[in-house]
Amino acid sequence: MEVSNILEFKDKALLEKAKNQETWYFILDPQTGCPYVHDGMTDLFVSPSVLEKTVKGDKIRYQKRMIIKEYGPKNKTATFGMGIFAYFYYLGLEKIKVFYEDAFGVLNRSELLPPRDYSGMDPEKIPVENPSVRLLLNEFLGEARWDRQYEGKLEYLQKKEKELFDAIKSARFLTPMQINEEDPDEMAFAKASNNGKNYLPLFTDWLEMGKGYEKGKWKGAVVTVAEALEIAGEDELVINFTCEAMVITKDVLKRTGVIGG
């Protein structure tokens, strides 16, 4: 066998093994509340012992304090009731490094669960989803909130911040609202509060909004960041306060070119 054929055979064998795997272990980054991301990918481990061995053996990639989560078909609390690869879709985690006792390799999430197909659907009815924004939030905040300093960190953060706000500029978000039953034209938008300050909550998808607001009681208005600022008035914005909780001010939006200065 040629080397390329051997590698292809190995990858296919690993893919089939992963497809049949029911229980996984993964790492949460406490800086973001999301699965830990490195090199644009996340990790899945077949057992706690494999996870521990991997983390101990790689002191470069696994330096942070981390939280271990278990996922199984009868235990989906770690993925909020969803299958793990559907959950990873919402988070933009398309590259997954799987670890077994005797093998590891990088797989595409789409090979484990086909991507969503919204072709042919009325654009107005396509659900709000922002997997690329979620991945960038995770990458940026995971480093920005980590107190460790290292060579190249500033340059990395500047690059990721630009990518993140470029994505935010064109994204659609959900903001919770309630409609007055007596006057359907009258709407009341939700407010989130912290340390005496009010924020207009924005959510990247229905999964995140559902963590904080009951679907039957609240509707989701679809807005851009510019539209959200008009609704917020003097308040600031917060994206996914139940997870990443990224506060965004007008000054930051001006500096990053999302709105005019």
Other C-beta atoms lying within 10 Å of the C-beta of residue 79: 22
| Distance (Å) of CA 133 to CA 23, 50, 101, 140, 160 | 28, 30, 33, 10, 11
Other C-beta atoms lying within 10 Å of the C-beta of residue 90: 20
| Distance (Å) of CA 157 to CA 59, 201, 228, 241, 257 | 21, 24, 25, 21, 16
E strands of the chain, at which residues?
24-29, 34-35, 42-45, 67-71, 95-99, 104-108, 173-179, 187-189, 192-194, 197-202, 219-223, 236-239, 246-248
Query: Mind listing the pLDDT tens digit for each residue in 56-100?
Result: 999 888 999 999 999 998 889 999 999 999 999 999 999 999 999
Other C-beta atoms lying within 10 Å of the C-beta of residue 216: 6
Q: Token pair 């980590």 is at which residue?
A: 146
Residue whose C-alpha is closest to residue 90's, from 209, 224, 192: 209
When pLDDT is cut at 50, 70 and 90, the band that residue 120 belongs to is confident
CB of 141 within 8 A of CB of 125? no
Please compute the mean of the pLDDT values over residues 16-23 and round it to a whole number: 95
When pLDDT is cut at 50, 70 and 90, the band that residue 168 belongs to is very high
Distance CA 125, CA 122 (A): 5
Domain range summary for the chain, segments of one domain joined by +: 3-112, 123-255
Distance CA 200, CA 189 (A): 8
Distance CA 213, CA 202 (A): 12
- The overall average pLDDT reported for the chain is 92
Distance CA 257, CA 261 (A): 8
Handedness of CA 96, 147, 157, 196 (dihedral sign): positive
Distance CA 84, CA 72 (A): 8
Q: State the DSSP H helix or E strand holding residue 111, giving kind and residue range, or none if neither.
A: helix 109-112
pLDDT at 9 over 60: no
CB of 239 within 8 A of CB of 138? no
Report percent pLDDT > 90 for the chain.
79
When pLDDT is cut at 50, 70 and 90, the band that residue 5 belongs to is low
Tell which CATH architecture fits domain 3-112: 3-Layer(aba) Sandwich (3.40)
Q: Look at residue 8 in the predicted model and tell me its pLDDT.
A: 58
